[in-house]
């Protein structure tokens, strides 16, 4: 199950990268960084939900607990990638963490939250299990 989840996470990573490139190259120059980041965040959340809805049956969680395990796996991969890529590119910790500062209008924190919960939501909507939550 986690191997399949890893494959889907790689697909989400590609979509997230394309979303970020579109934001930086097209949207931000026209409307500014803060608004572009907000739009990009909402778009990426939608993409994560769509890809998860389409793939949760193939990933194969057999319970809410397994779906949450997939979400947790994706969350760890996402955060490790974000922090690792940021730090390897020479960004300071304050720059790496800046997108999580909701007090400055950054709503990026929605992406990890959606990433964590998307497999549970998609499995429930797709009717993959009928047992009560653990």
How far is 27 from 33, CA to CA, in rounded Å? Answer: 8
Question: For 32-109, where are the alpha helices, taking DSSP H only?
Answer: 33-59, 64-88, 93-97
Nearest one of 50, 47, 56, 72 to 129, comparing CA atoms: 56
Going residue by residue through the chain, which has 134 residues, state the pLDDT in tens, using 9 for 90 and above.
Answer: 999 999 999 999 999 999 999 999 999 999 999 899 999 999 999 999 999 999 999 999 999 999 999 999 999 999 999 999 988 888 888 888 888 888 888 899 999 999 999 999 999 999 998 655 55
pLDDT for the residue 112: 96
| Token pair belonging to 115 | 């990433």
Please report, for the chain, the start and end positions of each structural domain, with discontinuous segments joined by +. 2-124
Instruction: Give me the pLDDT at residue 88, please.
Output: 86
pTM, 2 dp: 0.91
Q: Tens digits of per-residue pLDDT, 45-70?
A: 999 999 999 999 999 999 999 999 99
């Amino acid at each position: 199950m986690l191997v399949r989840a890893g494959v889907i996470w790689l697909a989400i990573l590609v979509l997230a990268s394309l979303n970020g490139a579109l934001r930086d190259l097209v949207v931000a120059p026209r409307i500014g960084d803060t608004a572009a980041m907000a739009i990009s965040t909402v778009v990426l959340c939608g993409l994560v939900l769509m890809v998860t809805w389409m793939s949760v049956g193939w990933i194969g969680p057999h319970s809410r607990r397994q779906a949450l395990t997939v979400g947790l796996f994706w969350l760890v991969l996402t955060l490790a990638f974000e922090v690792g890529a940021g730090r390897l590119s020479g960004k300071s910790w304050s720059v790496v963490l800046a997108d999580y500062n909701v007090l400055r209008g950054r709503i990026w924190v929605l992406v990890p939250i959606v990433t964590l919960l998307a497999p549970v939501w998609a499995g429930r909507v797709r009717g993959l299990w009928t047992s009560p939550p653990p």
